[in-house]
Structure 1
């Protein structure tokens, strides 16, 4: 396997990496939950950044992610890294001794970015974003999307990515990177040209298609937390387009008609059009369609008129606005700083043949939402085997989402699982790794499909001691 150049090794005085002990059958032994095995003070002294332990001021805030439901996950330490060398120091010092998790935005759906008794490798100090004259953009792995969009937009360029402004660029990209411009410009990972990454043995590599072809392939859709810790991304961008954003709301009780019409309409729409369908449970369920069109509103309105005609349902509300790239991205960014929720996902390989059955799943289930995001267009221009993202030929991704509190979490989790199972019974299987869910049936195949075997092989090559391990890592079945 080709290996990229090592920019720098851990600093002098760093301990040797701990190799993973194994049981007699070759499985990892339970040795990685011993914080006392790590020389925390030695690591603190070698970091350019800051190491926070539970008794340190600022630790409690630093350890918490986006979802308060996971505030009970308390790591042994948080390393606020300032450079790739810091990340390498942290990996060498703690890898094989305690669980490791890289944190960018901290939006892991089930809190994997804060491993109990482990080390959070916090990348948020590495958040510099710079646009170059050749149209490329250099992005630190800790940058949130709002910063990426701001810098890219000021350069009059465009990078397709997610809609939540506080999500970190690393998590979005490593899982593939779906978003409101994907049908026109493709996934976020499709724009990657190079990465800087720290491997399980503490090396810092330049990851490109020519230098490290297997790792470059795997990190484009193989999911965050697997394989290596990416510290820096280089993306190619497109000229910033004029956009039209819109929202159509429909009367309650008309979900079946809207879902039926939306499916045929978006499948036939030009790739300039992206529009998702949001179904909210209730008695009866309600729905709305929101989207982004690459072009002026004068060209968008006729397409929306066609959707309404197909549905035979007059919207109760219709908002259509012309926007530039940056303000267009801000239109979809309405997320709080923190939010308590339970979520999962499915993949529609083709339009559902039974929209009424989907409606029935949400009848009476107040508080649960289905968000269906269309694929197609530029997403399908890249063949499935070309990157680790496996859903190139699918029709849409579906997210099942519900707000919850600590008191209601168990009940809400059960209700979400019921909907996930109901969609599965309708032939809607698979899943999107960025909406990770430990209860999703056969999650390895669901998240990685035909790319699973190759991904596991690459994980074994780059991380044979399972340093980057967690309950849904590539090392697990």
Structure 2
């Protein structure tokens, strides 16, 4: 069945559907009821409903980023199954309660929380691996590090992201960029099926043969517009051995590094993951530059790759290190974790909740010399951001297997991007909290400074409320089709948030 045919079939079911919601995004359903009958929802759930002020509420009220801790939900439904999610969605719709669906709670905009009902999928986190078919079925609330641990224990691997505590839902539906992206593709490219709760409370299996239009949209179309995903099925591959490398350069060589890097990565072997990490630390007045990445080939072959990269840069690194690591060890290190046990938020682990701001630019053409100069200028400008722990920009090489999947197969629109610029700012968690506005201003100023050369394209997993034409920024070339899907499954736009797909 073609996408157009599938949408026609979906439209014919409008009498059944009232709309579809999405994970990790604000789902506004009318005006909030004055006094929601919360006891009715608890009676329908196997999980626990925490009403504001009740015992245990404070421990589940907030997501990853403490800058949004001033937002207190009216209630948090800790769901343990798709049936619980169904009950919560039906309750919110029937009682006109605005609600938000939370997976990992990492949204840079704070849109994974709200003042109404938070439908929390954290406890729907089981990871089941079928070694015979090399697939994994993953609960929507699973953290990425738990997925890595479970699949690696079976000798298998999934391309994912870099943050161990991020929820699988938002990562997978928005794309998923990490060490195995260039060799194997995005996380969304590995998706073969999903379980989705619709607005009428029905639970449906979505795949290329069942609701194919919606399946296309879930692969890169982001969360929040089409359905509350409660589980995902991914194809896996045998876990590779990684060669992990790092090279440091003085900032004086930054222009040569960027120019050489972007020239090299455009045609580099797809087995090589490579990025540049610029960091500015205001407290020390220092800026640093590192070239880091992974290789899923032999150590001797990596030596050849790095020699070619260094030759393209034209400057020898100040230092260089290479180590051989297992898939899981490499994923732990990429998440900056010392062990699996510590790679969780407290109280389970020791990953700190750090206030942060971020934005991104997808780059399609090599940066000319004046754009490179501007990038370096903006990195150094981070030294003037008062109270910042650090600021900077990570330049992530794309291409490779990302281009192997087309926009006919998925909604991800940046298939031909050369690289991504990820702008970041972090600051201390304090009481009272610091105002996030100056840090937002830095990352958005960085993005605006690069726009004359790069345009407005951005990565949906780094949501940025300052982007006006977000549809074409996040989904160039696929947004119109996403709107068609939206009209087919949710013509009344029941589920929406500030940057959801509009029908």
**Change in CA separation of 1:70 and 1:47 when aligned onto 2, cut-off 3 Å:** same
For residues 3 and 465 of structure 1, the distance between their equivalents in structure 2, rounded to whole angstroms, comes to: 14
For residues 329 and 165 of structure 1, the distance between their equivalents in structure 2, rounded to whole angstroms, comes to: 8
Give runs of aligned pairs for residues 406-421 of structure 1, distance below 5 A: 406-421=433-448
User: In the alignment, is residue 207 of structure 1 matched against residue 206 of structure 2?
Assistant: yes
Give runs of aligned pairs for residues 177-188 of structure 1, distance below 5 A: 177-188=176-187
For residues 414 and 381 of structure 1, the distance between their equivalents in structure 2, rounded to whole angstroms, comes to: 36
Q: Which secondary structure state, in structure 1, belongs to the residue aligned with residue 477 of structure 2? A: helix
Cα pair 2:32 2:98 within 8 Å, conserved:
no
Cα pair 2:19 2:490 within 8 Å, conserved:
no
Match of 1:349?
Answer: 364
For residues 379 and 214 of structure 1, the distance between their equivalents in structure 2, rounded to whole angstroms, comes to: 21
For residues 408 and 306 of structure 1, the distance between their equivalents in structure 2, rounded to whole angstroms, comes to: 45
Cα pair 2:65 2:106 within 8 Å, conserved:
yes
User: In the alignment, is residue 289 of structure 1 matched against residue 285 of structure 2?
Assistant: no
Residue by residue, what CA displacement relative to the aligned partner does 1:11-65 show, whole Å, maximum 9, x if unpaired? xxxxx9899xxxxxxxxxx973424363211001110111111121121221211
Cα pair 1:99 1:468 within 8 Å, conserved:
no
For residues 435 and 240 of structure 1, the distance between their equivalents in structure 2, rounded to whole angstroms, comes to: 28
For residues 29 and 138 of structure 2, the distance between their equivalents in structure 1, rounded to whole angstroms, comes to: 35
Match of 1:238?
Answer: 237
Q: Which residue, 394, 401, 404 being the options, matches 2:424? A: 401
Cα pair 1:351 1:395 within 8 Å, conserved:
yes
TM-score, scaled relative to structure 1: 0.91
Cα pair 1:384 1:393 within 8 Å, conserved:
no
TM-score, scaled relative to structure 2: 0.86
Match of 1:12?
Answer: none
Cα pair 1:255 1:286 within 8 Å, conserved:
no
Cα pair 1:125 1:142 within 8 Å, conserved:
yes
For residues 204 and 135 of structure 2, the distance between their equivalents in structure 1, rounded to whole angstroms, comes to: 20
State the 1:462 CA deviation: 2.0
Match of 1:247?
Answer: 246
Give runs of aligned pairs for residues 435-450 of structure 1, distance below 5 A: 435-450=462-477
Q: Which structure has more RCO (C-alpha within 8 Å, separation ≥ 6)? A: 2
**Which 5+ residue runs of structure 2 have no aligned equivalent?**
1-6, 21-27, 338-350, 384-389
Cα pair 2:364 2:454 within 8 Å, conserved:
no
Q: Which residue, 81, 85, 88 being the options, matches 2:86? A: 88
Q: Which secondary structure state, in structure 2, belongs to the residue aligned with residue 274 of structure 1? A: strand
Match of 2:414?
Answer: 391
**Which 5+ residue runs of structure 1 have no aligned equivalent?**
10-15, 20-29
Give runs of aligned pairs for residues 288-327 of structure 1, distance below 5 A: 288-327=290-329
For residues 98 and 364 of structure 2, the distance between their equivalents in structure 1, rounded to whole angstroms, comes to: 35
For residues 248 and 149 of structure 1, the distance between their equivalents in structure 2, rounded to whole angstroms, comes to: 26
Deviates more, 1:189-198 or 1:316-325: 316-325
For residues 482 and 18 of structure 2, the distance between their equivalents in structure 1, rounded to whole angstroms, comes to: 23
Aligned pair count reads 457
Deviates more, 1:391-400 or 1:278-287: 278-287
For residues 31 and 154 of structure 1, the distance between their equivalents in structure 2, rounded to whole angstroms, comes to: 42
Match of 2:376?
Answer: 359
State the 1:408 CA deviation: 4.3
Q: Which secondary structure state, in structure 1, belongs to the residue aligned with residue 476 of structure 2? A: helix
Match of 1:229?
Answer: 228
State the 1:440 CA deviation: 2.2
Cα pair 2:29 2:99 within 8 Å, conserved:
no
Cα pair 2:104 2:165 within 8 Å, conserved:
yes
**Change in CA separation of 1:288 and 1:121 when aligned onto 2, cut-off 3 Å:** same
Q: Which residue, 386, 394, 402 being the options, matches 1:371? A: 394
Deviates more, 1:284-293 or 1:192-201: 284-293
Residue by residue, what CA displacement relative to the aligned partner does 1:226-266 show, whole Å, maximum 9, x if unpaired? 21110011111111111111111111322111101111121
State the 1:304 CA deviation: 1.3
Match of 2:342?
Answer: none
How large is the RMSD of aligned CA atoms in angstroms?
Answer: 2.4
